[in-house]
Structure 1
Amino acid sequence: MKPEGRLLVAGGHASETGVRADNQDFAGIYTATELERMRHGMIAAVADGVGGGIGGDHRGGRIAAELAVRALIEGLYDQPDTIGVPAAAHRVMAPYNRWLTAMGRTDSMAHAATTFTALVLKGRRGHVLHAGDSRAWHFRDGRLTLLTQDHTRSHPDQRHILYRAIGIEDRLRLDHHEVALAEHDRLLLTSDGVHGSLSHRRLEKLLGARNSADADAGAIVAAALGAGSQDNATAIVLDVVSLPAIGHDSVAGDIDRLPILDPPGEGDSVDGFRLDHLLSDGRYTRLFRATDTANGQVVAIKFPKPALLSETGARLAFTREILVGSRVSSPFVGDVIAVAQDRQTRLYGVQPFYEGQTLEARLASPMNLAEGLDIAIRLTRAVAALHKLDIIHRDIKPENVMLTHDGGLKLIDLGVARLPRVDEFGASEIPGTPSYLAPEMFAGNLGDEATDLYALGVTLWRLFTGHYPYGEIEAFSRPRFRKLEAPSSLRPELPAWLDAALMRAVSVDPEERFGDAIGLLRALEGGAAVERVDLRAVPLIERHPVRFWQGVSLILLVALIAALIH
């Protein structure tokens, strides 16, 4: 199981006066208590004060900047957590904006105002709140993305003139932008004394150094001053160390906003993914091998078919795959790849592309006992990893098992998995191949550990014999679960212990099956250990007693005939 995790962020900041007489920038980071982080998140903010004439020394700008940052930090946690980050921040900052606007009309703080750019990190999301020309940035996989837009005049000679900031207008206007977070992300806040002197590429390189947040914030400010900055220079760097586990509500919320469109075709491009090759065109979904043109990664992308799968069913299926991929940590279970919320424009799922073949394709060629046992053990470990988290696969079969070219195994296609506290499909939309459905599922059972073990047993039966235990069952036909013949009747070299394990796994009565996947795993691993013993060191009478006594009888018969002849 992947660790549940919590929001953990390492922050660092630097602020230098530079060539100016005083520093009107102000930066603040508040990591918050664990309870505060859960309810409201943690805060980082940069403000760059302008104007203000206390005694003619223009300290009003600095006061405006500092109070703006402190107002958010001190006020946000008093707001109800049910109204959301943007609304909570507006409740705090709007009164401050009105106060500062009024003070700007006095002699003591004439024209005082401040830019304001804040990050509120809550759960697995980052919320950017912004007014003015300070900036927020997002750094991931070596690429830096600007998250804000400067509120300055567009004319080249007037780009230093703000048309929006705190204290300029009676009514507060804060831009809000939301970004999905991932572990190892870096977030950057800068005043214009930094990004006014350093190019996008230079900032990208400095963040790519991956020193501590404090060290890299200092390096960015030093680089800005070294490049000739004529303003105060301030930077905050936040490193995302860990995040809370993905929850059903957050995933479902993200998926609900995505339209369900007709599936694309081979050669099309969707959100920067080039669809290179159609891998399968199933009843409910279409699967492509694709290339992410942003980084060159080869992936697999699955699209729903809205004509055959209801909108609710499609959203449930994709929600399940994301949840399982985020919760299960096993080398034998397929993973998922998160797509940035601002990139994905329609419903689809992205997974790593596993180079290899399905177990179904592998069954077309003969397989020795040792290879079969190795596959069986790894597949059973995959099922055990799911069941440990109360996840029921419900569609275990050779087509959903990938054997990779590097010798690995991945159990895939988790879109119909049954998860705790997650809504169920309509009965007609629970896919499943009839030959792998346990008898009780034909009577209305929606899937549990016992039915998964049955499907696994049928898969292993095919793995070792090439046949179905009760024969192949056609869709819409009434299955008949006749008396079982031992698998060794189809493949005589199968050992007795494997006969027993396979027959128990596909028992018609669920009470007679293994109690859990671990029980089956122990049987397979114990038997495999026996098979690895060097049988040449064991006497023939112990290895094959029947053959031994047949040989003895033959020798005695020859001896008797010879005696009678003489």
Structure 2
Amino acid sequence: MLKSLDPVKLTATIGQYSSAGRKATNQDFHGAIVPDGAALIMKGIAIAIADGISSSPVSHIAAETAVKSFLTDYYCTSDAWTVKTAASRVIEATNSWLNAQNRGIEDRDHAHVTTFSALVLKGQRAYLFHIGDSRVWRLSGRNLEPLTTDHRLASSQSESYLGRALGLRPSVEIDYRRLEVQPGDVFVLTTDGVHNSVSPRKIAASVASASDLSSAAAEIAASAYEAGSGDNLTIQIVRIESLPEDDLEPVFDGADSLPPAPLPRVPCDFEGYRLHRQIHASNRSHIFLASVPGTGEHVALKFTSADLREDDSYLRRFAMEEWVARRISSAHVLKSGQPLLPRHSLYLVTEYVDGETLAQWMADHPRADLRAVRDLIGQIADGLRALHRKEIIHQDLRPENLMIDRNGTVKIIDFGSALVAGVHEAAPDFDRGHILGTVQYAAPEYFLGERGTEQSDLFSVGVIAYQMLTGKLPYGAAVARTRSRKQQQRLRFDSLREIRPDVPDWVEGAIRKAVHPDPVKRYQALTEFVYDLSHPNLKLVGAGRQPLMDRNPLLVWQGLTIFLALVIFGMLLKDYI
């Protein structure tokens, strides 16, 4: 039995039982992990069960491999990933390994094949993953509600076979389901040796009346044996005792609970560093150039804003910048550093980028060369893809948050507004109701209260590309004033070629698509946008071209007035003659 007693955490009681039953060997396998600290918040509690096919002498290896690899590797995946992404990738990798062991084996009855079902409890939800005919149930009153569907195909009235299992084919289709949960909810996982011999109502009665879940599991397995089951008998019972609050302190190693560091008066020594000068100041942060004594290595130290030191949400996001940076490895994403000494106050250490912001570069290149724009946008896209692979949306891409070093390498900085899928899953209220980015570059969907997506970051990249070429914004300031889909549909793209006639029309078409008000009509991949900036896509030529009335209504009305004046003059002249 496993149980945690901290009422503010996710806690659960787990009872488990497994035996060979009437068989000589047990080809089932099961397991559960209840971690602590950050792993409990970001990964949750994992329970898994597997049933190797009876005809194979190595199916017990397949079942054990499936459960052990899931329970081990799932907790090694990125904390930034959602449960669905992390678990699915681990299951797919296990399937590939098992299937590889079956190469050259023509008889499936001697293959590494197993059913597999897993339950992950994280935050205030349950996540189910299922392949085969083991089952996951939820206690509902006096009965069990089935949450999975058996993947069995009937070959005759009396015979059936597994249509889906781990190791059966090179790729596997995983049934996935997400459920809201409450304290007191009970889940049951069984192999077919149990649920083919004991009715759901009887299992539910045993669970509901049990004071000890392990004893209940053993009792249910005994009932299956007495009912004549000739298969292995495995059952897991999970009861949720309490659900967590949105407390992410262990995730950020307690950094967000440290008092903000006082702003230093340079030059000075600070927690092992030598601070030389301030290199950036805004209403949100202060950055100083520092060096490491002995090596002379330059780093940047970032301090909180003096005006926001009492804002808990701001301090938590400030701490999350470091958390995000440590999980990304890319030449185009700012790297986080490790403090020289144990921290006694909240500040961040990052690599020092000797260069300038894209905003300064744009001021120095008001009519940027198209080749330079392509190069910079390509580098920004590379950095973004590194973030997106970890299911992190930057949400505040703007020229001030893009650094260009002396070698021309672009680095994305400032992750204080980032949306991390795994963190959002653990704490849904973390940034609810806030437009965290800069409004001039924020995608229209943010102003409707929607969550950011990869297409939201793409919109910002498109705006930056447009601005590098023209010095203006594609919709002016109109996007920030929209609060409905209907208003956004009326947004009018200012033709890039009217400002820069030297830019090819297909480049304008690519940028127009990237900044479309509807995220569905934008590029679905950054690579497509980068490619179309350098390769003529004739489908984009003239696409979305606005009528003259929309582009220049004053000119239309002036022309119409002149035309009507000429008509009236002609009529008067005719009467006079």
**With structure 1 as the length reference, what TM-score do the two structures score?**
0.46
